[in-house]
Amino acid sequence: MEVIIAKDYETLSRQAATIIAAQVIGQPDSVLGLATGSTPVGTYKHLVALYREGIIDFSRVKTFNLDEYYGVAPDNPCSYRWFMEENLFKHINILPENTYIPNGLAQDTAAECREYEEKIHRAGGIDLQLLGIGGNGHIGFNEPGNSFQPATHLVDLDQQTIEANSRFFASPDQVPRQALSMGIKSIMAARRIILLANGKAKARAVYEMIRGPITPELPASVLQLHPQAAVIIDQEAAALL
Ligand code: GLP
């Protein structure tokens, strides 16, 4: 696992955007795995700027997002679909039909999860997966547990995750209790992974991910096994290393 310590969030975001841009320039029909949360917002801003400067073309790119809240409609401003439209998709020339996010309103969640995996497979697999990390070490919404969940699945969110994400909702009781998330196998199957983390609230999880044992109790630790994984962190997130 390559560890890159950036001096601040701005530098981290620029570095991540540069890696994604290089991927898309080198392979215009790239399949990107994308993340939500506060962490990648700066990266998306830089990608939009690179698009506006005519440096990257998203017309042949496909994207698959890691997760979506269960029971939340795409036009709900708290949905991850909404987040992606606002922070990236509506500012670039990606085709709407090439942006995939699990359907939070699916009645048959098992079928939705299976079909999501099939769509990734049919697209040729993920070339570059962008990740954040939860304070409890989750990636996507793969929460700490007894085993690594392999494929896309319905997740019961941790209390810590509900509290952390309540800042995006009017009140903590409005945070959905479940989500559809790509699994650890879905993430690990990506050819290349970059995980971003900034701020001191992530320092413990970052330390455990890089230096701790590989365990489903700290889901991000599995990335130690990925042959092409890079972690880009700011100095605060690197404080315990
Ligand atoms: C969310 C998402 C993750 C994200 C993480 C950290 O719950 N499901 O994909 O990486 O939590 O979020 P943030 O970047 O806002 O700290």
Q: Best mutation site among 9, 12, 13, 36 for ligand 1, i.e. most ligand atoms within 8 A of its Cβ?
A: 36
Tens of pLDDT along 184-222?
999 999 999 999 999 999 999 999 999 999 999 999 999
Please state, in angstroms and rounded to a whole number, the distance separating the CA atoms of residues 64 and 183.
Answer: 13
Protein residue with its CA nearest to atom 11 in ligand 1: 134
Q: Best mutation site among 83, 165, 167, 202 for ligand 1, i.e. most ligand atoms within 8 A of its Cβ?
A: 165
Given a contact cutoff of 8 angstroms between Cβ atoms, the answer to whether 16 and 40 are in contact is yes
Tens of pLDDT along 43-89?
999 999 999 999 999 999 999 999 999 999 999 999 999 999 999 99
Active site residues: 67, 136, 138, 143
Please state, in angstroms and rounded to a whole number, the distance separating the CA atoms of residues 187 and 202.
Answer: 20
Tens of pLDDT along 3-44?
999 999 999 999 999 999 999 999 999 999 999 999 999 999
- For ligand 1, the distance from its centroid to the CA atom of residue 32, given in whole angstroms, is 17
Given a contact cutoff of 8 angstroms between Cβ atoms, the answer to whether 168 and 72 are in contact is no
Q: One-letter amino acid identity for 23? A: Q
pTM of the predicted model as reported, rounded to 2 decimal places: 0.96
Domains along the chain?
2-234 (3.40.50.1360)
